[in-house]
């Protein structure tokens, strides 16, 4: 295998293995590093869902194709961006006249800048710069997205390109977002790709790039975050920037360390784009398989109820994650994220179906469906939890009003946000 068809995988400062790519056969492989394997450390970094086995031989993968996995084992495909990051990636490559790069070359760009704690070495080095101007970055991104939409040629200085590439291509998801770190004392803002010390607040910022938008998606997400916190759902602290952009602290940058995180799709290989495994029953099963504490199973139940009541229908398998505790060698639920009214309420959708089915249903979920899950996973007092979530409906309305979301939007939203019957 040619040298550039192998990349090393590092975690917590040591090489844990290597990914190989056989371009002719379109296959990838993973082999644990013998020293790491022999150390018997961190036995659970990749929960044994039958994909990555803890064996010395190289393991070959040819069943993870398509847009979600790109041929990689799901644990590593989790390091790749989705729609928005890919758009910036493409612009970056076009600017360098590199159009056709392999998936390992893409991982070399992720390098040590990815979400979570997994790093890829050797990485492609990009210049490190000190502070950045948030307003300028947002302006650049706005013009890039507009130009791309109208198929205009994109002309940017290389400094602007490097900046948006560095902070805009790591996180997954469809919507425009960047990573920044803000110094706790001086307030200085630096690119959020490399820094992880505790001297900074590390934010993921979901950007409101369309100033004309009648539906202020980012403000609504902020109000959802406040509502979830109000009823004790664990979310990271968040704030609005310039009253428009939604900034939330990163759970994968805490205590001055990178936290190893994987999405439900990353752990299991269940493709979040396919309906086959997309249901809450699977997610609860995965949680018991990971031996999360019962209080966390109750938390997951509360999140499910929240998503049903507040019409967060885009609750797919990459919108649920787990964090690894390296001291205890075990997993827990990550804080909840991407909680929002998922579709523009001003548009009429023929089908507005839930990503994760409940009791085989994606619409018209009723009390019986929810109670069936509660029964299966021995949730105490499910009706009490449902009531607690429902009681937060006026709180959300108040928050939306306080943040000047239009009456028109609020009315449309609350035509759908209802108690469970
Ligand atoms: N607070 C956070 N800390 C760390 N990682 C996060 C945080 N919030 C989101 N992420 C990661 O970033 C990804 C994208 O974020 P998010 O789901 O909010 O974006 P989105 O573009 O709205 O997604 P979607 O495509 O589901 O609509 C998530 O899948 C998750 O892996
Ligand atoms: Mg998401």
> Which H or E element spans position 16?
strand 14-22
Assign 216 to helix, strand or coil: coil
Please report, rounded to a whole number, the percentage of residues in the chain having pLDDT higher than 90.
75
Tokens coding 393: 């409906």
Residues 277 and 151 in one domain: no
Report pLDDT for 1: 38
Question: Whose alpha carbon is nearest atom 17 of ligand 1?
Answer: 338
Average pLDDT of the residues of the chain: 93
Looking at per-residue confidence, does 33 or 2 come out higher? 33
CA pair distance 9, 31, nearest whole angstrom: 10
**Residue that is last in its domain, among 224, 239, 254:** 254
pLDDT single digits (tens) 231-269:
999 999 999 999 999 999 999 999 999 999 999 999 999
Report pLDDT for 87: 87
DSSP per position, 245-296: EEEEE-TTEETTEEPPEEEHHHHH---TTSSTT-BHHHHHHHHHHTT--HHH
Q: What DSSP state is assigned to residue 358? A: B
Q: Which of 86, 102, 242 is nearest to 171 (CA)?
A: 86
Report pLDDT for 4: 62
Looking at per-residue confidence, does 304 or 160 come out higher? 304
On whether residue 419 sits in a domain, the answer given is no
Q: What is the mean pLDDT of residues 80-84?
A: 90
On whether residue 420 sits in a domain, the answer given is no
On whether residue 287 sits in a domain, the answer given is yes
On whether residue 128 sits in a domain, the answer given is no
Tokens coding 137: 């970055």
Report pLDDT for 127: 81
Q: Which of 53, 118, 128 is nearest to 80 (CA)?
A: 118
Q: Which of 332, 340, 122, 123 is nearest to 222 (CA)?
A: 340
Residues 270 and 237 in one domain: no
Question: Whose alpha carbon is nearest atom 23 of ligand 1?
Answer: 173
On whether residue 129 sits in a domain, the answer given is no
CB 396, CB 417: distance < 8 Å: yes
Assign 135 to helix, strand or coil: helix
Residues 226 and 80 in one domain: no
Residues 104 and 139 in one domain: no
CA pair distance 379, 382, nearest whole angstrom: 6
Residues 108 and 189 in one domain: no
Helices 217-230 & 393-402, crossing angle to 10 degrees?
140
Is pTM beyond 0.85? Reply is yes
What is the pLDDT confidence band of residue 142, given thresholds at 50, 70 and 90?
confident
Report pLDDT for 3: 45
Of all atoms in ligand 1, which is nearest to the CA of residue 314?
A: 26
Q: What is the mean pLDDT of residues 347-376?
A: 93
**Residue that is last in its domain, among 222, 254, 286:** 254
Q: Is pLDDT above 90 for 2?
A: no
Residues 410 and 289 in one domain: yes
Residues 202 and 283 in one domain: no
The greatest distance separating any two alpha carbons of the chain, rounded to the nearest whole angstrom, comes to 62
What is the pLDDT confidence band of residue 161, given thresholds at 50, 70 and 90?
confident
The residues lining ligand 1, judged by C-beta closer than 6 Å to any ligand atom, are: 82, 115, 171-175, 204, 236, 248, 250-252, 263, 314, 318-319, 321, 337-338
On whether residue 117 sits in a domain, the answer given is yes
Mutate to test the pocket of ligand 1, among 172, 245, 253, 355 (most ligand atoms within 8 A of CB): 172
Looking at per-residue confidence, does 198 or 87 come out higher? 198
Residue with tokens 């110094």: 183
On whether residue 16 sits in a domain, the answer given is yes
Q: Is pLDDT above 90 for 162?
A: no
Residues 226 and 140 in one domain: yes
DSSP per position, 162-212: HHHHHHHSSS-SSS-EEEEEEETTT--EEETTT---TTEEEEEEE----TT
Q: Ligand 2: distance of its center to the CA of 126 in Å? A: 27
Residues 70 and 175 in one domain: no
Residues 21 and 82 in one domain: yes
Number of domains comprising the chain: 3
DSSP per position, 96-118: TT-----HHHHHHHHTT-SSSS-
Ligand 2 (ion): residues with CB under 5 Å are: 173, 319, 338
Q: What DSSP state is assigned to residue 128? A: -
Q: Nearest 5°: phi and psi at 291?
A: 60, 40
| Helices and strands, counts by H and E, the chain | 15, 15
β-bridge mates for residue 268, sequence order = none
Q: What is the mean pLDDT of residues 121-128?
A: 87
On whether residue 364 sits in a domain, the answer given is yes
CA pair distance 304, 228, nearest whole angstrom: 12
Region of poorest pLDDT, from 145-159, 341-355, 382-396, 397-411: 145-159
Residues 140 and 167 in one domain: yes
Q: Ligand 2: distance of its center to the CA of 275 in Å? A: 16
Q: Which domain holds residue 355?
A: 260-414
β-bridge mates for residue 7, sequence order = 19
Of all atoms in ligand 1, which is nearest to the CA of residue 84?
A: 21
Q: Ligand 2: distance of its center to the CA of 338 in Å? A: 5
CB count in 10 Å sphere of residue 232: 13
Q: Is pLDDT above 90 for 148?
A: no
Residues 268 and 248 in one domain: no
**Residue that is last in its domain, among 121, 153, 179:** 121
């Amino acid at each position: 295998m040619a040298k550039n068809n192998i990349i090393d995988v590092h975690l917590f400062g040591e090489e844990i293995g290597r990914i190989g790519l056989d371009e002719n056969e379109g296959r990838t492989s993973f082999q644990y590093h013998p020293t790491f394997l022999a150390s018997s450390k961190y036995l659970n970094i990749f929960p044994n869902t039958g994909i990555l086995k803890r064996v010395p031989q190289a393991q070959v993968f040819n069943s993870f194709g398509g847009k979600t996995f790109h041929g990689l084992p799901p644990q590593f495909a989790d390091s790749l961006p989705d729609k928005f990051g890919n758009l910036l990636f493409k612009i970056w490559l076009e600017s360098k006249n590199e159009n056709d790069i392999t998936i390992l070359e893409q991982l070399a760009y992720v390098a040590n800048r990815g979400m979570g704690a997994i790093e890829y070495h050797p990485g492609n080095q990009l210049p490190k710069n000190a502070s950045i101007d948030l307003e300028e970055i947002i302006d650049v991104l706005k013009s890039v997205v507009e130009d791309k939409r109208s198929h205009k040629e994109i002309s940017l200085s290389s400094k602007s390109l490097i900046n948006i590439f560095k902070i805009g291509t790591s996180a997954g998801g469809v919507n425009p977002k960047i990573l920044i770190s803000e110094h706790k004392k001086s307030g200085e803002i630096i690119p959020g790709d490399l820094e992880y010390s505790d001297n900074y607040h590390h934010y993921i910022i979901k950007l409101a790039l369309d100033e004309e938008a009648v539906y202020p998606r980012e403000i609504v997400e902020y109000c959802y975050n406040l509502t979830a916190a109000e009823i004790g759902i664990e979310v990271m602290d968040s704030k609005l920037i310039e009253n428009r952009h939604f900034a939330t602290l990163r759970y994968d940058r805490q205590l001055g360390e990178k936290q190893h995180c994987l999405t439900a799709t990353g752990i299991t290989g269940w493709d979040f784009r396919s309906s086959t495994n997309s249901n809450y029953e699977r997610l609860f099963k995965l949680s018991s398989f990971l031996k999360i504490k019962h209080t966390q199973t109750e938390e997951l139940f509360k999140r499910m109820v929240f998503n049903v009541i507040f019409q967060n229908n885009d609750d797919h398998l990459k919108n649920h994650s787990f964090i690894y505790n390296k001291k205890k060698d075990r997993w827990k639920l990550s804080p909840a994220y991407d909680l929002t009214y998922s579709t523009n309420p001003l548009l009429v959708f023929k089908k507005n179906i839930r990503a994760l089915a409940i009791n085989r249903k994606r619409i018209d979920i009723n009390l019986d469906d929810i109670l069936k899950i509660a029964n299966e996973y021995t949730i105490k007092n499910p009706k009490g939890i449902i009531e607690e979530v429902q009681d937060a409906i006026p709180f959300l309305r108040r928050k939306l009003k306080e943040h000047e979301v239009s009456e028109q939007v609020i009315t449309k939203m609350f035509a759908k946000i209802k108690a469970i019957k």
